[in-house]
Amino acid sequence: MSLRIYNTLSRSVVPFVPRETAKVSMYVCGMTVYDLCHLGHARSMLAFDVVQRWLKTSGLSVNYVRNVTDIDDKIIKRAIENNETITALTDRMIDALHEDADALGIERPTHEPRATEYVPQMLSLIGKLETNGVAYSTNKDADGNSDVNFSVRKFPSYGKLSGKSLDELRAGERVAVAGAKHDPLDFVLWKAAKASEPNEAKWQSPYGIGRPGWHIECSAMSCALLGEHFDIHGGGADLQFPHHENEIAQSEAALKAIAGKASQPMANYWMHNGFVNVDNEKMSKSLGNFFTIREVLKVYDPEVVRFFIIRTHYRSPLNYSDVHLDDAKGALKRLYTALDLVAAVDVTIDWTNAYAARFKAAMDEDFGTPEAVAVLFDLAGEVNRTKSFDLASLLRSLGAILGLLQQMPKAFLQGRVIRSRTRDAAFNPIQAQIDLRSIAKKEKNFAEADRIRKALLEQGIALKDSPTGTTWESV
């Protein structure tokens, strides 16, 4: 296939070749669910939503895993502050995550594992690391509970994802506490329990009572659901180091010497989306400069937010401001204005069509959404000029690949959120116009109702009103 992807590991755009014919395995690091998701989280979810949509459009079956971190220091701290259980907090935040993602048209992953469901797999992986001589126990307390750390210097290729040598990395680290880590770069695999922590945060293990470190969870879950070696590993640029670097080290070190297996990479392709910035500074909860998804959705249609994010290339920084969102709203209106001229329908895309071929070429070059969106605007201009049903239908169908242009045009332009009569039904643009006309009649806006009838008639669609409703037929 012709798809090319920027691989962080090789620092270059390279041809994408799946490990298995017509199948793709993809793991993306998800949210730590102690608070509501902000636009930075939306950016990552949307980046890989577009990736998996295009892979499917390209005829590939996608096994997409996006995990949930439901145990860590921040979650424990927030649950204690709220005087609620960890489970109550994380369940509530996961429900909110789904509501926000659904609103933005983000398709659910194939699997959404929670870290707490995979503690046995994490302990098994830690045991393999011990067997292979790259993990060690330390800091045993009075109850016999120990930390377990990964010995970074025993994994010679550490730093290959970040492009930094061990000496460069060590120079930026603080001196380790005596009696704890053997080296400042070493990272925790298992944490000994603290008396102050709730029982929900404690598991029995060969190292006493404790809980997993952050990095080990993704190695365990990706291996359990995708295997020891898979196609794509993704996440935000902030995860490249140390999280993804540590994932590579622990995954490859655990498996390289087992049963005589030759060393193989954890993932063939590493993808990282860019930051969302506010005043040229990364949006993050730690900086306090974040806007939650639902705060933004109180002001802007979800599709405007989606369009705002994906019209910038996933690897580029994205600057957040009301001005930029207003600009995205105006641009999206231009596309819907073209579709409002013709009752377009979903069509099977002819990829030999010049517009479709340009769209495909853009997406095949590292998911080039800016160029793909430019094709949509060129198509919209031609629809405005020709009123072509075929081009309008192509515009709508190409937009669908990006999760765009699926609302009823009139509804979007009027600031409504009416889509199809049944949320899960296939969009029927003619029925959508009938629904809008029915609303106009109920609101005694008879001029609008007549306009819709005449517009449909001009397209060869005659409406018939009856006591049981409105039907239509071609004329």
CATH number for position 87: 3.40.50.620
Between strands 12-15 and 281-282, the pairing is unpaired
Residues in CB range of 148: below 8 A, 6 or more apart: 126, 130, 135, 136, 137, 138, 188, 189, 190, 207
Provide the pLDDT for residue 428: 61
Print the domain residue range for 185.
4-273
Strands (E), 279-350: 281-282, 318-319
Provide the pLDDT for residue 419: 38
Residues in CB range of 411: below 8 A, 6 or more apart: 417, 418, 419, 432, 436
Does residue 422 lie within any of the structural domains?
A: no
The answer to whether the beta carbons of residues 166 and 153 sit under 8 Å apart is yes
Do residues 334 and 226 both lie within one domain? no
Does residue 424 lie within any of the structural domains?
A: no
Do residues 109 and 253 both lie within one domain? yes
Distance CA 204, CA 119 (A): 10
Does residue 357 lie within any of the structural domains?
A: yes
Do residues 247 and 355 both lie within one domain? no
Provide the pLDDT for residue 167: 77
- Extract the tokens encoding 282: 């990364």
Do residues 261 and 404 both lie within one domain? no
Strand arrangement of the beta sheet that strand 267-273 belongs to: 61-66, 23-28, 230-236, 267-273
Do residues 187 and 41 both lie within one domain? yes
Between strands 318-319 and 276-278, the pairing is parallel
Residue positions counted in the chain: 475
Provide the pLDDT for residue 73: 96
Does residue 73 lie within any of the structural domains?
A: yes
Phi, psi of 190 (to 5 degrees): -145, 135
Do residues 337 and 355 both lie within one domain? yes
Provide the pLDDT for residue 234: 98
Closest CA to 214 of 183, 184, 245: 245
- Cis preceding linkage at 242, omega within 30: yes
Residues in CB range of 205: below 8 A, 6 or more apart: 123, 190
- Residue 21 burial by CB count (10 A; 0-12/13-18/19+): exposed, middle or buried? exposed
Does residue 31 lie within any of the structural domains?
A: yes
Do residues 136 and 262 both lie within one domain? yes
Distance CA 238, CA 452 (A): 50
Q: What is the mean pLDDT of each run of 10 residues along the chain (475 residues)?
A: 93 98 98 96 98 98 98 96 97 97 97 98 97 92 92 93 82 52 93 94 97 97 97 97 97 72 82 89 70 93 97 96 94 97 92 98 98 98 97 97 94 65 45 80 81 81 84 71
- At which of 273, 306, 323 does a domain end? 273
Provide the pLDDT for residue 439: 81
Does residue 421 lie within any of the structural domains?
A: no
- At which of 213, 247, 273 does a domain end? 273
Overall domain count for the chain: 3
Does residue 97 lie within any of the structural domains?
A: yes
Query: Which amino acid, one-letter code, is at 245?
Result: E
Most distant pair of Cα atoms in the chain: their distance:
86
Residues in CB range of 277: below 8 A, 6 or more apart: 283, 317, 318, 319, 320
- Residue 94 burial by CB count (10 A; 0-12/13-18/19+): exposed, middle or buried? middle
Provide the pLDDT for residue 310: 97
- At which of 239, 256, 273 does a domain end? 273
Closest CA to 62 of 15, 102, 109: 109
> Helix count (H) and strand count (E) of the chain?
16, 15
| CATH classification of the domain holding 406 | 1.20.120.640
Do residues 66 and 162 both lie within one domain? yes
Do residues 27 and 165 both lie within one domain? yes
Task: Using the CB atoms, write b or e for 422-461: b if 16+ within 10 Å.
Answer: eeeeebbbebbbbbbbbbbbeeeeeebbeebbebbeebeb
Do residues 388 and 448 both lie within one domain? no
Does residue 324 lie within any of the structural domains?
A: yes
Q: Percentage helix, strand, coil, to 5, in the chain? A: 45, 15, 35
Do residues 355 and 457 both lie within one domain? no
Do residues 353 and 464 both lie within one domain? no
Distance CA 305, CA 293 (A): 9
Distance CA 51, CA 65 (A): 13
